[in-house]
Homo-oligomer: A and B are copies of this chain.
Amino acid sequence: MVLSQTTEYTLRSVVWLASHPDQPQTVQQIAKATHVPAAYLAKVMHSLGKAGLVEAKRGLGGGYSLTKKHSDLTILEVVNTVEPIERIHSCPLGRNSHSNRLCPLHQRLDEAIGLIEEAFGNTKIADLVVESLCDNSNGKPDRDLSCKLGGGT
């Protein structure tokens, strides 16, 4: 719970695309780099395309690219294209007496959802690309982003 596999796969793919701003990536390339099954990834790309976050270029050198700069794109925007984070605005039980105020349970749940929404809204996809937290055997930070996303061999 909290994050579905589809959401996590989508984020992996977007971070991969963000690390290749001028190199459209094919489904096969993304699948290899992110360890997401190609058939699954095709659906992810379709959803991202429908939401306007990626565009496809056909032909030689074609593939998927982000439509926005990774410095303008947040985790929240990506997550919301797959499984929108929904705050609890009114009593899920439809109680009239709760129309203006949630009961304590739903208030606490809404606050928790709000924490996630805020954390995701404050994190740019660019932050996930530029940081270098890999722990290589040579002790040097990775320059190859494939490391961060499991690409390469």
Beta-carbon contact of B149 and A93 below 8 Å: yes
Beta-carbon contact of A112 and B120 below 8 Å: yes
Known: A104-B131, A104-B133, A116-B2. A147 touches B97 (CB 8 A): yes
Report the bound CA distance from A123 to B95 in whole Å: 23
Which of A8-16, A38-46, A47-55, A65-73 touches B? A8-16
Copy number in this complex? 2
> Which residues of A are at the interface with B, using a C-beta cutoff of 8 A?
1-4, 7-8, 11-12, 15, 34-35, 75, 79, 83-86, 91-95, 97-105, 107-109, 111-113, 115-116, 119-120, 123, 127-129, 131, 133-137, 142, 147-150
Q: List 15 A-B contacts (CB under 8 A).
A: A1-B4, A1-B79, A2-B86, A2-B113, A2-B116, A12-B105, A15-B105, A34-B93, A35-B94, A75-B108, A100-B135, A103-B147, A105-B128, A105-B149, A111-B119
